Amino acid sequence: MSALTTDAATVRRLAAALRSADFTAGAVYALLGAEAHAALGRNETTPADRVTREADSPLAVLIRLFTLQRPVPRAAVDSALPGLVEPLTCAGLLAADGGEVRALVDLRPYGDEEHDWWVVCDLTPGLDAGPVEVGPEHVLGISEASSSLARLVVRRPAGRTLDLGTGCGVQALHLAQHSGAVVATDVNARALDMARLTAALNGVAVDVREGSLYEPVAGERFDLIASNPPFVVSPPEGERLVYRETGFAGDDVVRRLVEGASGQLTEGGLCQLLAAWIHPADGSWRERLAAWIEPTGLDAWVVEREEVDLAAYTEMWLADSGHRGGPGYAEAYDRWLGWFAAQGIGSMGFGWINLCRAERVTPSVRIEEYGGPVAGPVGADVQAWAEGVDALSAGDPLDRAWRTRPDAVQIEAGPVGAEDPATISVRLTQGLRRERTVDTVEAGLLSASDGDLTAGQILDALAHLLDLDAAAVRAQYAPAVTDLAADGFLLP
């Protein structure tokens, strides 16, 4: 694949044309409608083609050109991108031939609740059940993984942030909104070209550097590191796809990121990874990850969201690279399973690794499975975890005032007509929607925790109201206070 070279003036003109056409995620959805838009999410373009084939608005032209990957008459493209066909052709973004123009890259509308952006990536493979053809330097666009990482990252103000393995630059756009400076790195030169173009189109300043792992930022420290590294574990032979595989053995890329994070973080800094890890056939995956984390001296919160058996894992990634149904598929499938068995791999885990640099004698390391529901961004959960660890490490939790998380709701259940509920539970409605069964004392503690009285004072008051021994209540419920804080029901 050729390099992408675009001068600043052309980028400004392109951004202006896209803005003039209202080429935004919201406008695309409005024009296509729910059915055609949903079909695009399944890589089916026919419904969207039917909506746009007779339309001649600049927005419809850009959808056909970039989103549907259709050849478009030169006159229509000239109208939507006035004076830009020639410079964008020279830059490697478009190809013009025989009176038609086609896109060589995907220019995709993207955004969050407050921003409309554009992301430059390679064309979507496998449209309309066509063959999935991706080269080793393929630059992935907005994926479920990149969206998950964006929802995971804490959105607090930061001085310097690092987008490690930036790809097309999606995370850098988000990080730039709450950071004084953003550094984005990757080993794929084509990805760096696209990340630069993505940043320039959106008027975002990003320091883009080439290199592996922490090498491009050796000796530098960051308040926040975000990474969705190439974490596919696969046999070492055959063509490697840079966006998903590395030259490291097994899940070693994740281990190296964890082990190197301490030297790159400022005090209080966070490193947040969306990653995968091996479940040994004989052994504990928790102990394996703990062995990576504990020598770093970092606080850690690891959440495994899913465990995948090796057959499903192999099928998923062979389909991703276009091998499913093709020649040699069964042989490749067998080779993968044989390699997993030889390596002693039992299954694969996917999830989040959150690391925080805090100088304390005994760091907090929590490794858990959570396959329950998640609502919206979880960055607030990660921030609450870091603050909760600080608070629980500072002394007796009964001597501290806590406040119940605003999105916590109480649920009572029991037989119809019963005077009192049989059970009381508390559920979080945002982020990790944890649910916990509580008794009368715990429910009263949560009800009264508004940041005014300490947990001990509230327990004393509840003991008096329920005619219980105050010292016994404190001793019995001190662990519950710790657990409620650790699970995010109570905030410091």
pLDDT at 178: 97
Q: Are residues 357 and 419 in the same domain?
A: no
SS3 316: helix
Q: Are residues 334 and 419 in the same domain?
A: no
- The Cα–Cα gap between 371 and 374 comes to 9
* Domains held by the chain: number: 3
User: Is there a domain that residue 82 lies in?
Assistant: yes
Q: Are residues 151 and 219 in the same domain?
A: yes
Out of 315, 341, 363, a domain closes at: 363
User: Is there a domain that residue 273 lies in?
Assistant: yes
Residue 406's CB is within 10 A of a number of other CB atoms, namely 9
Q: Are residues 152 and 269 in the same domain?
A: yes
Q: Are residues 355 and 401 in the same domain?
A: no
pLDDT of residue 237 exceeding 80: no
CA-based nearest residue to 353, from 374, 367, 372: 367
pLDDT of residue 300 exceeding 60: yes
User: Is there a domain that residue 137 lies in?
Assistant: no
pLDDT at 477: 97
Percent residues over pLDDT 90 in the chain: 82
Q: Are residues 403 and 339 in the same domain?
A: no
Banded pLDDT at 320 (limits 50, 70, 90): confident
Q: Are residues 34 and 148 in the same domain?
A: no
Average pLDDT over residues 36-46: 95
Q: Are residues 165 and 226 in the same domain?
A: yes
Q: Are residues 293 and 424 in the same domain?
A: no
User: Is there a domain that residue 371 lies in?
Assistant: no
User: Is there a domain that residue 413 lies in?
Assistant: yes
pLDDT at 415: 79
Q: Are residues 95 and 185 in the same domain?
A: no
Give this prediction's pTM: 0.93
SS3 330: helix
Banded pLDDT at 451 (limits 50, 70, 90): very high
Average pLDDT over residues 358-383: 94
pLDDT at 2: 52
User: Is there a domain that residue 323 lies in?
Assistant: yes
User: How far is CA 404 from each of CA 411, 413, 459, 460, rounded to the nearest angstrom?
Assistant: 15, 21, 15, 18
Q: Are residues 173 and 85 in the same domain?
A: no
pLDDT of residue 447 exceeding 60: yes
Residue-number span of the structural domain to which 258 is assigned: 144-363
Task: Specify the higher pLDDT residue, 318 or 240.
Answer: 318
pLDDT at 3: 65
